[in-house]
Amino acid sequence: MNSSLALSSATFIYALASVFYIGSFSFKKQSLAKIGFMVLVLGFLDNTLGIILRWIESYQMGYGHAPFANMYESLVFFSWTVAILYIFVELKYKESIIGVFATPLVFLAIAYASLSPDISSQITPLIPALKSNWLIAHVIACFLGYAGFAVAFGFSIMYFVKPNNPDAPTIFAKLPSVEIIDELTYQMVVFGFLFLTIGIITGAVWANSAWGTYWSWDPKETWSLITWIVYAVFLHLRMMRGWHGKNLALVSIIGFMAVMFTYFGVNFLLSGLHSYG
């Protein structure tokens, strides 16, 4: 067993989990969602194993670093964080139908990592600037934040597909009530916001210990701040201005666009200090 075998099998298991959730949703079969959940947990365990193995392999190669060093590793970890967050949400709120909006994200991230020709899965050595204990704290916090926003995005989509009439003859009528979607979206945004805050702060403290400046308006920093502001606006609109429903869901979707640009756009289109993430 090696990490690449574990991670590519995890990709297929996640695909299977998504299929079960979509099937459960389309055919209104609760049992399929139950199987989907178990498959998702299995994929998550496989994903975890892959990350641990990759960590060990990096030590065997003499590089010795946590598997958070390039785009490939970050995508694998992104899948992992979204999966664990969704598993937690399903266990806590006992709503399985929403999995159809979360599990495809888990699958897409890891599939993109494995299949895109632009993303190398090689274990590479760390440049000196990344050799710091802050790396682990910074990456974990940022990606938990991204995961919260990703799941919130999945839930926000529900507002736009759910018909107003609960008896409407469409598969989307079975979605949870607007109150529950609203609550879930809010909880996910709050979770993401707290961890993005911690992620930005650990990044700033790290930058200050590596370069002597905690903020240098590097594109990645600026975009993470833009994302943070969008979600700060979301929270103020909800709590102080009483926004709900589709309008607020739109803000959450804009926020997730900012997350995506921070994650991918900055690396592909702009230049800066971050090698990924």
Partner 1 sequence: MKKNKTIPELIWQFFSSVKLAVYTLVLLASTSIIGTIILQNGTPQQYLREYGEAVYNVIKVFNIDDMYRAWWFLALLVILCINIVVCSIERLSITWKIIFPKKIKFNPDRFRKQKNLESFSVDKDAPTLFNDYESFLSKTIGKVIKEDTATGTTMVAETGRWTRIGVYVVHLSIILLLVGALIGSLFGFKANLNLDEGATSDTAFIAKKRVSINMGFSIRCNDFNVKFYDTGAPEEFKSNLTIIENGKESFTKDIRVNHPLRYKGINIFQSSYGSGKPDRVVFDIIRLSDKSVTKQSIKIGEEIQLPADQGLFKLQGFLQNYDFRGNNLGEAFIGKITFKDDKEIQIAIPLEFPTFDKMRKGAFAFVVKDYEKKYYTGLQITKDPGVWYVYLGFILMIIGCWVTFFMSHQSIFIEIEKTDGNSSKISVSGTTNRNNQGMKLKIKKIVKKLKDI
Give the interface with partner 1 as residue ranges (CB under 8 A).
63, 124-125, 127-129, 131-132, 179-180, 183, 190, 193-194, 197-198, 201, 204-205, 208-215, 217, 219, 222-223, 225-226, 229-230, 232-233, 236-237, 239-241, 266, 270
Query: Is 67 in contact with 139 (CB distance < 8 Å)?
Result: no
Q: Cβ of residue 176: shortest distance to partner 1, in angstroms? A: 12
Q: Cβ of residue 237: shortest distance to partner 1, in angstroms? A: 7
Query: Is 151 in contact with 79 (CB distance < 8 Å)?
Result: no
Q: Per DSSP, which regions of the chain are E strands? A: none
Question: Could you give the CA distance from residue 209 to residue 234 in angstroms, rounded to a whole number?
Answer: 32
For partner 1, the closer of residues 107 and 263 by Cβ is 263
DSSP 144-161: HHHHHHHHHHHHHHHHHH
Residue with tokens 């664990």: 84
Q: Cβ of residue 262: shortest distance to partner 1, in angstroms? A: 10
For partner 1, the closer of residues 2 and 209 by Cβ is 209
Residue with tokens 């964080």: 81
For partner 1, the closer of residues 25 and 193 by Cβ is 193
For partner 1, the closer of residues 170 and 213 by Cβ is 213
For partner 1, the closer of residues 32 and 158 by Cβ is 158
Q: Cβ of residue 179: shortest distance to partner 1, in angstroms? A: 8
Q: Cβ of residue 47: shortest distance to partner 1, in angstroms? A: 27
- Nearest CA to 86 out of 63, 107, 57 is that of 107
Q: Cβ of residue 181: shortest distance to partner 1, in angstroms? A: 12
For partner 1, the closer of residues 80 and 134 by Cβ is 134
Spatial neighbors of 106 by CB under 8 A, at least 6 apart, are 14, 17, 18, 40, 43, 79, 82, 83, 86
